[in-house]
Structure 1
Amino acid sequence: MTNAPMSAVLERQLLLQLGDRLRQLRKSQGIGTIDMAARVGIARNTLRAIENGDPAPSMGSYLRVMSALGVVGELALLAGDSMTPAPQGTAGARSRREKPSIQVTVTADTSRHEIQDLQSLALHQAAVDLVKVDPAQLARAQATLARWLGSGPSRSTSLWTEWEEVLSKRQWRKILGRSRRAQELRQSSPLVTLLPEDTRKSVLSQIGALKKGVVIRDAVEEDVR
C-alpha cells in the first residue's frame, strides 16, 4: 500500500510545525540564534528561515540543526538499513512480522489566525510558482499594482510601493516569510489576482481539509510466508 502524495498545503504546514518545534527546542536549551548558527555552520538568516518552516533551505541545513539539538535520531532510523524491508524469499522476509500501523493527524490552529496565514502563504506560493513558469504573468501583477497606486492615496500605499520592488526584483522570500511585514504585504497583494479559479479552489479545499485534520497513515506490511 502506498500513501497518496501530500498536498502542498500539508507539506508547508508540516514544515511550519517543524520550524516551530526546532525554535522551541533551541530556546529550551538556552541557545541563542548567533550561537546556534555558528555551531551548525550556517548563516543566521538561514537558521531563521529554518525556524520559520521555509522550504528554501536545503535538507542538509535542516538536518544539521536537528543534529545540534539532539533530535535527528528519528530521521536516522528512517534512513537506516534496519527499516529496509528484506527481499521476498529471504529468511528475513519469511520471519518478518506485521509492521505496526502508524497514524498521525495534522491540523492547524484555527483560533490564532494560523490557518488564515497558512492559506495566505499557500495562495502566494501558488502565485509565485505561476510567475516562475509564465514570466508574462509578472507584467499583469505590475499593471494591477500600477492601477492601485494611480487611484490616489490609500492606507496601503506604502505596502504597494514596497510591492513594486518585490515584483521588479522578484524578492519572493520577502513575501513568503512569517514576519509581520510579510503578513502585511500579503494582505495588500497584487499577486493573488493572477491565480486561476481552479488553483484558488484547490488551495482552499486543502485548507478546508486541514481544518478538519488530515490523517497520514503508514502502510501496513503483511507477513510474508
Structure 2
Amino acid sequence: MPFRLIRPESLPWLDVASPSPADADRAAAQLRDDYERWSRWSLGLFAFVVAILGLFTALGIASTAYALDVGVHLVDVVAVLVAGGIGLAGTSVLALLWRSGRRLTRAAAAWTRLPYEVSGRTRTAAGWLGARTVNVEARIFVRVTTSTLALLLAVACISVAVRDVVTGTSTVTLAAAAVGVLALLCGLGQMGGVLRIVSGLSEADPLWHRIRTSVKRG
C-alpha cells in the first residue's frame, strides 16, 4: 500500500462544515490513528537525518573551499549541488509531514472537544488522567522524545554558530547555523502536534475546565 500523508478515510473528517457530536469519538480516533502512524514518524526521522546530512555536507564543503581559497573545482561544485539537493529533498518531505500533521491534529483536537462544548458530555476524573497519560503512550512518547532531541540539537548547533560569530567564523559556522535552525523548526513542529492532541484531551479534564473557566471570568 503506497504511503499517503493523509489517508483517504481521514479526509471526510477534515474541515467538516456541520460536525455532529455523535461522530466525534469515531472521527477523533481515526484522525489520531492517521497522525500517530509509525510510518509517518519513521519517514520524518529518515527525512530529518537526510536533510541534516545533506545541508551540513553542502554548506561545509562550500565554506571550506571558500576559507582555503582554492578556487572553484568541478568536483566541489558537483558535491555541493548533490548534497544540497538531497538536503532540500529531505526538508521538503519534512515540510509536507508538518503541514499534513497540523491538519490532522487540529481536526482531531476539535472533534475531541466537540461533545463537551456542544452536547455537554460530563467531564470526569478519567478525563484528567487521560490528558496526562497520553504522553506515555508509545506513539506519542516517541514523538516527545524525538522532538526533545531535535531541540537539544538545535541548542547545540546554534550555540556553535553564535560562538563562532563572537570569536571568529570557521568552516562549520554556516553549516551549524543551518542545522540548528532546521532542528529547531522540526522540534517545535513535532512538539506542536503532540500539544494539540493533549489540548483536545484536556477538554475532558474537570479540573482544567474549572481553572480555565475561572480565568476567563476573571
TM-score normalised by structure 1 residue count: 0.28
More helix by share: 2
